[in-house]
Structure 1
């Protein structure tokens, strides 16, 4: 069962405990030049910014998803007591329709003076030193629109590469991983955060994920995700797996079809009453329906 958590205050903004856990796992250093590759806009660039030399944020949201209102939802916030998530960021899920989570019609990046467009693949790719020198002192992360399988950077351009709840939604995971490792310099770190299931767990849990989002790619087992990383050409240095319990209704707000949301709700209530297991471990807390997910943090290094 998840431990109680409270919001940790940081200068300028609160950082949720789950994000603090990921930051501590990442171990950012003052001389790191970082790349975050996300499905839309995520919280990592802003969280890493004060602790590293420079951050570049790549929005690699597949173009087929842009028309759905695209991008990830706002940062997960944990309250006291059992882990609570409000203002949710949805792993592998679409945001609620009609809500622009990028910060307006042109997105959050368009309002920033440091925003840039994706580089043309035929242009010279900047080195780590050139990236850091050009953007040193930039108050906000540089934001780039690019394909996660063809990043516009030279080999070994970054000392720290991160991707959070995006690896399996940005294209072929093997190709995405190889590209993330290509731009990570020797001795650098690749940090992956994603949903997982136990090695012995049945894939039934994905049934409700796909009811909510038909494009859900399936939740990998811990063994599958580690094998994927090593086969892409990396060695795994550290692994952190933990359970998050969250209220159902904010998560269901992202369902494409209200009828699918009703089916998920009914299946979880039926399980509480002794019906078939869904793998979501639902329970009622104060009259509110909650369910669980397993998250993993993996630290890898290019071989």
Structure 2
């Protein structure tokens, strides 16, 4: 059943959204946070709350409208999710045209735009009027991990709600589980498997990903010492098999270059680099540094 209770954490935010839905809900909302995996389900529950037919707490999860949202068949809900692709002015014009039509099922229409920071300036400007003076039935929910990438004029026309920062710490067990397959794939020169392992890391919340990259540098340090035939106890015994295999495949000089590159990548993640760019870097850039 679609509901706020089904979403983990963010208790204060969910309470604020419930109260807002029970009152006069703003027609343009900006949901921000570090983790797109948390923003997307929240936006869907919020859309269901806006469209919900219940006279009580919304979304109720059981009315026809809530069930249609849950099944992705509600005719008055438009969800735009193009990943990290640029969102162009044609999209903004299409959204404006759709919102010129009165709702099909109920009294409201909702447009959800994920990764709104990828709206190019022309698209953002095309949506300005719609966000400022939408039809009485039209509601917008924009999600973004990079709110500063949006024009100030767009941000000022939206009521902002922010997710609580995800836990920054990552356990050694979690890091080993993520990095073991990746290091093995590098040692075996399997770029396809490197990408699959990197995709698993991409799903890690941004702050936790910084911790994973730090552990990766520690593993590379162990591999560099092994490649130089320096007899020192590994800092990560749980990954010793992988780091030893890496040392047999990649020279110490190239491993050092990868170590430095992971530091650069960590800086980019800290500055809100797109998750797809992280995956690409962990695959193609690391492969190139090691073998080309």
TM range, normalised to the smaller chain?
A: 0.3 to 0.5
TM-score (ref. length: structure 1): 0.33
User: Which of the two has higher C-alpha Rg?
Assistant: 2
TM-score (ref. length: structure 2): 0.34
